[in-house]
Structure 1
Amino acid sequence: MKDDILHNLAVINNRIKNACAKSGRNTDEVKLLLATKTVSAERIKIVLEHGQTLIAENKVQELKEKYEELKDTSHKNHFIGHLQTNKIKDILKYDVTCVQSLDRLELAEKLHQRLLTENRTMDVLIQVNTSNEESKFGIDPGEAIELTRKISHYPTLKIKGLMTIGLFSAESEKVRACFKILKNLQQDIIRENIPNVEMKELSMGMSGDLETAIEEGATIVRVGTAVFGARIYPDSYYWNEGRNEGKTNNQA
């Protein structure tokens, strides 16, 4: 198990390195986020003990189940799933440092109120539905600037950038179009010069399309099964995640 996971991790890191080189980007500009949906704490600890520091869960229940076993191993935990307002207290309890899936004002307001009571702040990314699919969460691209402007009024929420899932397709140019939408939106928001808003992070791209995402400006790529699943090889093209597992599939 350990050998397979470390082999897969090396493959993914090498793909990121090669994609950065091809795009004329520094590898320091792109972070690997390991999506740990359904992955045991035992398997997660393998990557944390070998230089990886950034993981993410889709479901609050999995955060709870793995928290005790992982809390003493240095890492940062993002949340990439659809967040229900009644789960906000758990997100804070289990040390999530960034919610990448902020997609509506009601959630922002309730998250802000909870953070106020705990005298805390939190990094957030605005999730955008760039594929125009009903099966995916995220704000419509045409409404994203206004949502960002409204969320910027909450001082506890530190907006760091944008996230999208993109289209599940083997046609790379269709996937690229989603990433271009997010990149263009980032630039539009930067031009708006909204106080309390940074646009440094673009979380987009998964195991099957990370090269395309990096070419289009991704700063965070989300990879899950391609690391934690069966052994993979550098010359393969992978689509390990289900095409549509409903509206909770924010994994890589």
Structure 2
Amino acid sequence: MTPDDAARHDGATPPPRDDVAVPARDDVAVPARDDVAVPARDDIAVPARDDVATRLREVHQRIAAAETAAGRSVGSVRLLLATKTVGAPAIRAALLAAPSVAHRPVLIGENRVQELVAKGPDLADLHPDVHLIGPLQSNKVNAALRWVSCVQTVDSLALATRLAARATADVRPLDVLVQVNVSGETTKSGVAPDDAVALALAVGALEGLRLRGLMTVGARSPDDAVVRAGYAVLRRLRDEVRGSGAPGTEAVTELSMGMSGDLEAAVAEGATVVRLGTAVFGSRPPVAADAQPPST
């Protein structure tokens, strides 16, 4: 076991990138970043900053149209850039272009802790607001919380308790969203809708966490009505949590829902954050099964 592995098993903070190129996973050997560990889009094509700016402008216009159609103020929905397998140079281009073309707050969303840790130092000077939007193993909590301001994928009280312990030790509150599986699809993570309110109230009561709302991945369906119905369920659950008046629910306002293919339905149902990747960075490249790290 390497010193890095020992540190992780002890719950210690992994060493900075200056000491080691890519922190090793506890459960699988990962080659150096320059090889294949993080399949970055830079290896295939890095969008020019002007191209990214154009796409961001188009995305803003699309979200603005959805906001207007829903009777909402333009700019009321925050844009989260989903950056799984997107390299740091492309993300930098988006962050640098955003102030002049996005006209709304722009966040970064990472799915895998391994990528988060690898890319974080390359983006630190831009001070991005980074959210974790993928499943989080409890043994990766320390590494993740070095870089994120919010974990959107809390789906169990056990995970929330681990996050709360670390956040309390850091003497800073951690924003969290409870992930709900509104579609019932077995391929999607999240707590069942019937259990969502109880979990949210339990999470909100934990010291060190600030419950901000709920998150979901929409139904995989060509029927817009089906997708929108799922988002309506999430909105009603959020309203039930917020209306409970329970301790720790005062800041519950967020609905993170909607992606490149269905953002209009999400905005119509009250999304406060939409998560877009393809619309800004293009289709993700295929990744060989033996080169793709497991979700973390």
TM value normalised by structure 2: 0.76
2:208 aligned with 1:163 = no
- What is the one-letter code of the residue matched to 1:215? A
Aligned to 1:237: none
User: How far apart are the structure 1 equivalents of 2:74 and 2:137?
Assistant: 34
User: How far apart are the structure 1 equivalents of 2:212 and 2:258?
Assistant: 17
Larger radius of gyration: 2
Alpha-carbon shift at residue 191 of structure 1 (Å):
2.1
- What is the one-letter code of the residue matched to 2:53? L
- What is the one-letter code of the residue matched to 1:104? S
Listed one character per residue, the Cα deviations across residues 43-78 of structure 1 (whole Å, up to 9, x for unaligned) are 000111112641010000001111111000131000
Picking from 231, 235, 238, the partner of 1:179 is 231
Q: Secondary structure at the match of 2:149?
A: strand
Is the contact made by 1:48 and 1:74 (CA closer than 8 Å) also made in structure 2?
no
- What is the one-letter code of the residue matched to 2:123? L
Is the contact made by 1:205 and 1:218 (CA closer than 8 Å) also made in structure 2?
yes
Question: Is the strand fraction higher in 1 or 2?
Answer: 1
User: How far apart are the structure 1 equivalents of 2:242 and 2:120?
Assistant: 36
Once the two structures are superposed, the pairs formed by residues 110-129 of structure 1 within 5 Å of their partners are 110-129=162-181
- Could you tell me which runs of 5 or more consecutive residues in structure 2 were left unpaired when the two chains were aligned: 1-46, 100-105, 287-293
User: How far apart are the structure 1 equivalents of 2:139 and 2:54?
Assistant: 39
Is the contact made by 2:201 and 2:248 (CA closer than 8 Å) also made in structure 1?
no
Alpha-carbon shift at residue 120 of structure 1 (Å):
2.2
Picking from 239, 260, 279, the partner of 1:207 is 260
Alpha-carbon shift at residue 116 of structure 1 (Å):
2.0
Aligned to 1:69: 122
Picking from 223, 231, 246, the partner of 2:276 is 223
Listed one character per residue, the Cα deviations across residues 176-198 of structure 1 (whole Å, up to 9, x for unaligned) are 11101001111111221111112
Alpha-carbon shift at residue 97 of structure 1 (Å):
0.2
Picking from 53, 61, 67, the partner of 1:6 is 53
2:155 aligned with 1:98 = no
Once the two structures are superposed, the pairs formed by residues 144-155 of structure 1 within 5 Å of their partners are 144-155=196-207
RMSD: 2.0
Aligned length: 236
State the identity as a percent: 43
- What is the one-letter code of the residue matched to 1:69? D
User: How far apart are the structure 1 equivalents of 2:285 and 2:82?
Assistant: 11
Runs (4+) of structure 1 exceeding 4 A deviation are none
2:44 aligned with 1:28 = no
User: How far apart are the structure 2 equivalents of 1:26 and 1:179?
Assistant: 19
TM value normalised by structure 1: 0.89
- What is the one-letter code of the residue matched to 1:36? T
User: How far apart are the structure 2 equivalents of 1:51 and 1:5?
Assistant: 9
Picking from 10, 18, 21, the partner of 2:65 is 18
| Larger deviation, residues 47-56 vs 143-152 | 47-56
Listed one character per residue, the Cα deviations across residues 18-51 of structure 1 (whole Å, up to 9, x for unaligned) are 1111111012320010000000000000111112
Is the contact made by 1:5 and 1:229 (CA closer than 8 Å) also made in structure 2?
no
- Could you tell me which runs of 5 or more consecutive residues in structure 1 were left unpaired when the two chains were aligned: 231-239, 243-247
